[in-house]
């Protein structure tokens, strides 16, 4: 059954990953470079530029950590998941397009925070849809395909955007106009690839609509938190995930900002991160195949160890070729650790509470990265050395591995 072709609904779910991955790629590449452009015009130092970028990412994820579980609990109510998903997606798309207009770095960061919050909340609802659109035995495969096609598919609007951003002078336009076109292209891409899922998706697992949905959603959430603390396999996994995925998302959020702050060539940085996406595509599919032979827990452990080595290598990074090597290594394991963690979690939770649980999952995932980005930013400002701040990320992977190893023993 695992080897049968993807259903239409599975394909439409994967298409959204292709759509929203365009935003993720922009956050890793063009958005921090444009923020660097705006901040340099305001005479902000490179260390403070990296710190402010990290603080914005931390604020975003802290807000999502607070509202995510509540929204996740609410959308478990019958008929709520699709409209909440649609609203979050539209706010994200419009905010992405709006990033084209500010000339102030402060306003730009404020709009970026709104876009990132909307993207993250939409992702909570999207991840929880996995239980509605496929069966437990196919979750590893479908989840891996989502990340794989998301990585390679997002390269299409990104490459088009790069043409404008890198060759704007030859085309005869300003850098600001090139950025505007890039943001609009990716906003349209995100919206267009969401339409099939919105038309086809129906919520399968839910709780009946209560008299007081919001109040009772809070009550269900508190009840779920109590349940999780008693269920060691879920609790320990979430603790582990909190730490190791924190490191993953911190690297994603700050890679280009770090390279740019080190003074590495902008064109080289962008192409290197494009290579990351291309490398991630086959390796996500390879790990999908491996998950049918080896247990997902073993593959996740391999990914955590690999990321620990990547973080340690980044400490001494100061050359263009080293950043390229880093980008390739990240691409090899990035999709695998995200996809396998998502499907691993989906298999150990009650399906009718998927929104609630994935709201908590998001706290321990994207919502947790405020700790990593804040750690990098604070360490960089206190020591005056960006390399030391980046090296601190390795601690997250070590702690994550320890708790994940304990979680697997509870299965």
DSSP state of 352: G
Average pLDDT over residues 256-275: 74
Q: Read off the tokens for 278.
A: 């291309």
228 plus 371 within the same structural domain: yes
Query: Given a cut of 60, is residue 168 above it in pLDDT?
Result: yes
Percentage of the chain with pLDDT > 70? 95
56 plus 136 within the same structural domain: yes
42 plus 122 within the same structural domain: yes
Alpha-carbon span 76 to 207, nearest angstrom: 6
156 plus 260 within the same structural domain: no
101 plus 66 within the same structural domain: yes
Q: Which of 201, 234, 258 is the last residue of a domain?
A: 201
Alpha-carbon span 248 to 161, nearest angstrom: 25
Task: Kindly state whether residue 209 falls inside one of the protein's structural domains.
Answer: no
138 plus 240 within the same structural domain: no
Boundaries of domain holding 231 = 219-410
Q: Which of 140, 408, 157 is nearest to 291 (CA)?
A: 140
245 plus 348 within the same structural domain: yes
Query: Given a cut of 70, is residue 411 above it in pLDDT?
Result: no
Task: Kindly state whether residue 89 falls inside one of the protein's structural domains.
Answer: yes
335 plus 367 within the same structural domain: yes
Q: Which of 149, 175, 201 is the last residue of a domain?
A: 201
3-state secondary structure of 409: coil
Query: Given a cut of 80, is residue 178 above it in pLDDT?
Result: yes
68 plus 156 within the same structural domain: yes
Alpha-carbon span 181 to 53, nearest angstrom: 23
Query: Given a cut of 90, is residue 365 above it in pLDDT?
Result: no
270 plus 355 within the same structural domain: yes
Average pLDDT over residues 302-318: 89
When divided into structural domains, the chain yields a total of 2
Q: What is the pLDDT of residues 225-247, one digit of tens each?
A: 788 888 888 899 999 999 999 88
Task: Kindly state whether residue 213 falls inside one of the protein's structural domains.
Answer: no
Ramachandran bin of 164, using left for φ above 0, alpha for ψ from -120 to 50, beta for the remaining angles: alpha
Average pLDDT over residues 305-321: 86
1 band by pLDDT with thresholds 50, 70 and 90: very low
Considering only residues 370 and 353, tell me which one the structure prediction assigns the higher pLDDT: 353
Alpha-carbon span 409 to 411, nearest angstrom: 6
Task: Kindly state whether residue 243 falls inside one of the protein's structural domains.
Answer: yes
Alpha-carbon span 149 to 80, nearest angstrom: 27
Task: Kindly state whether residue 214 falls inside one of the protein's structural domains.
Answer: no
* CA atoms within 13 Å, Cβ hemisphere of 352: 6
The answer to whether 69 touches 356, Cβ cutoff 8 Å, is yes
3-state DSSP percent of the chain in helix, strand and coil, to 5 = 80, 0, 15
Alpha-carbon span 294 to 288, nearest angstrom: 10
| φ, ψ dihedrals at 207, nearest 5° | -110, 150
* The length of the chain, given as a count of residues: 411
Task: Kindly state whether residue 208 falls inside one of the protein's structural domains.
Answer: no
255 plus 378 within the same structural domain: yes
Task: Kindly state whether residue 207 falls inside one of the protein's structural domains.
Answer: no
State the sign of the Cα–Cα–Cα–Cα dihedral 136, 142, 144, 146.
Answer: negative
What pLDDT, on the 0 to 100 scale, is given for residue 290?
93
* CATH code where residue 62 lies: 1.20.1250.20
158 plus 270 within the same structural domain: no
Task: Kindly state whether residue 211 falls inside one of the protein's structural domains.
Answer: no
2 band by pLDDT with thresholds 50, 70 and 90: very low
Q: Which of 169, 201, 233 is the last residue of a domain?
A: 201
Q: What is the pLDDT of residues 187-217, one digit of tens each?
A: 999 999 999 999 999 988 877 777 776 777 6
What pLDDT, on the 0 to 100 scale, is given for residue 200?
94
Q: What is the pLDDT of residues 97-155, one digit of tens each?
A: 999 898 899 999 999 999 999 999 999 899 989 989 999 888 988 999 998 999 899 99
């Amino acid at each position: 059954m695992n080897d049968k072709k993807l259903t239409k609904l599975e394909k439409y779910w994967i298409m959204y990953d292709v759509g929203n991955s365009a935003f993720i790629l922009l956050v890793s590449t063009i958005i921090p470079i444009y923020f660097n452009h705006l901040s340099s015009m305001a005479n902000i130092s490179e260390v403070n530029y990296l710190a402010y970028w990290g603080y914005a990412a931390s604020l975003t994820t802290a807000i999502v950590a607070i509202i995510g579980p509540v929204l996740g609990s609410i959308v478990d109510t019958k008929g709520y998941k699709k409209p909440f998903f649609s609203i979050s997606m539209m706010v994200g798309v419009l905010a992405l397009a709006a990033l084209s207009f500010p000339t102030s770095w402060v306003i730009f960061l404020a709009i970026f925070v709104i876009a990132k919050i909307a993207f993250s909340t939409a992702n909570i609802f999207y991840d929880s849809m996995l239980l509605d659109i496929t069966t437990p035995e196919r979750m590893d495969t479908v989840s891996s395909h989502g990340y794989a096609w998301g990585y390679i598919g997002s390269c299409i609007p990104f490459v088009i955007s790069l043409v404008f951003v890198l060759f704007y002078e030859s085309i005869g336009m300003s850098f600001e106009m090139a950025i505007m076109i890039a943001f609009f292209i990716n906003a349209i891409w995100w919206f267009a690839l969401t339409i099939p899922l919105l038309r086809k998706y129906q919520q399968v697992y839910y709780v009946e609509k209560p008299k007081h949905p919001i109040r009772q959603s809070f009550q269900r959430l508190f009840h779920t938190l109590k349940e999780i603390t008693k269920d060691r396999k879920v609790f320990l996994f979430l603790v582990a995930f909190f730490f190791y995925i924190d490191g993953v998302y911190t690297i994603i959020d700050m890679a280009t900002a770090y390279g740019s702050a080190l003074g590495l060539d902008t064109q080289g940085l962008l192409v290197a991160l494009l290579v990351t996406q291309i490398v991630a595509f086959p390796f996500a599919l390879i790990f999908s195949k491996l998950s049918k032979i080896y247990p997902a827990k073993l593959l996740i452990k391999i990914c955590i160890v690999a990321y620990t080595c990547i973080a340690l290598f980044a400490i001494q990074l100061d050359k263009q070729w080293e950043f390229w090597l880093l980008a390739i290594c990240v691409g090899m394991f990035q999709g695998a650790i995200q996809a396998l963690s998502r499907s691993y979690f989906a298999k150990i939770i009650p399906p009718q509470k998927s929104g609630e649980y994935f709201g908590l999952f998001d706290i321990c995932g994207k919502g947790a990265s405020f700790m990593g980005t804040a750690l990098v930013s604070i360490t960089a400002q206190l020591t005056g050395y960006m390399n030391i701040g980046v090296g601190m990320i390795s601690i997250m992977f070590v702690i994550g591995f320890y708790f994940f190893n304990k979680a697997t023993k509870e299965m």
